[in-house]
Amino acid sequence: MLIVLNDNEMSISENVGALNKYFKELQIRKWVQDAEKLGKNILERISPQLFGLVDRAKEAAKLLLHQENPFYAWGIRYVGPVDGHDLKGLVHILEHLKALDGPTLLHVVTKKGKGYKVAEADPIYWHGPPGFDPKKPEKVSKGYSWSQAFGDAVTELAHLEPRLFVLTPAMREGSGLVRYSLEHPERYLDVGICEDVAVTTAAGLALRGMKPIVAIYSTFLQRAYDQVIHDVAIENLPVVFAIDRAGIVGADGATHHGVFDIAYLRTVPNLQIAAPKDALELRAMLKKALEVGGPVAIRYPRDNLERAPEASGRRSLGVGGRC
């Protein structure tokens, strides 16, 4: 099996986590530098022509040098990092890797949006933009969304509740959490594309006395169904699930339709489900959910809405709501 890791340092938002940091430091690690030197010597002796064509020798040495190499410990041959935009060199390497036995990981380094200047400058927005004129690309104002309403609400609630803690599985922008992450960085955690980790971490925070909110798309919450039951609901922990993109999502596509969450969450013990009608009620429901003492799921659609009226003061935020 050949695993190609396309490393452009981005998911939808920026990458996070230990493995991402490891890749960023890879070039300065001793085993990579030793591998490069040994590989150059091997290829120059075997085939000067091959060495001159690819000008890359790490792949030969990775078969011989394993010190500090975590992939070897996992039973995977590591090759790279290589330039993913050098098509001639990349095809040459892939042709040779096909003949190798066992699992191999090819680490390919690329730039997200490469070749399209607006996408290179803003890879987050242009990851999945709405329709636009490629000759005159411009950002389109999408209006005030439920995601933004959620982000504004938790940002303000965090000033009232010092135990509030928000987690997201790599969806800071999509879930409207940019402002929150800037104003409350000490109570914000992006776990990467690991929905189950987000839920289990929230359970741990709840056990430590925090008030965690897991901001997650409906379709992605399915990946953490086991953790919702075993780590949160059975323990009756005060974890709030802010379920974005509930229902039909239109342009997001078939894989993102949030049409199952009501059916499967209704079977979960101790869990209350709520659906606000507007931004004011969303804010009130979030405030109430932080007070009820058990798991609560608040679901809202992919759509625009009117902004909630400004609270007269932070202490009056979130007028009475129902859960």
pLDDT of residue 83: 85
- Cβ atoms of residues 166 and 321 within 8 Å: no
DSSP 135: T
Tell me, letter by letter, the H, E, C secondary structure of 179-236: HHHHHCHHHEEECCCCHHHHHHHHHHHHHCCCEEEEEEEHHHHHHHHHHHHHHHHCCC
Question: 54-63, 144-153, 256-265: which range is least confident on average?
Answer: 54-63
14: left (phi over 0), alpha (psi -120 to 50) or beta: beta
User: Which of 62, 195, 288, 302 is labelled catalytic?
Assistant: 195
Asked if 142 is an active-site residue, the reply is no
User: Which of 40, 111, 163, 223 is labelled catalytic?
Assistant: 223
In the chain, what percentage of residues exceed pLDDT 90?
A: 47
Asked if 37 is an active-site residue, the reply is no
Asked if 306 is an active-site residue, the reply is no
Kindly give, in sequence order, each residue whose CB lies less than 8 Å from that of residue 313, ignoring residues fewer than 6 positions away. none
Query: For residue 41, what pLDDT band results from cuts at 50, 70 and 90?
Result: low
| Domain ranges across the chain | 2-109, 146-316
| Residues forming beta bridges with residue 5, ordered by sequence position | 107
Q: pLDDT tens for residues 174-189?
A: 899 999 999 999 999 9
Q: What 3-state DSSP class applies to 15?
A: coil
Q: pLDDT tens for residues 76-129?
A: 888 877 888 888 888 888 888 888 888 988 888 888 877 777 776 776 666 767
Directed axis angle between helix 279-289 and helix 146-160, to 10°?
A: 40
User: Which of 29, 40, 111, 112 is labelled catalytic?
Assistant: 112
Assigned architecture for domain 146-316: 3-Layer(aba) Sandwich (3.40)
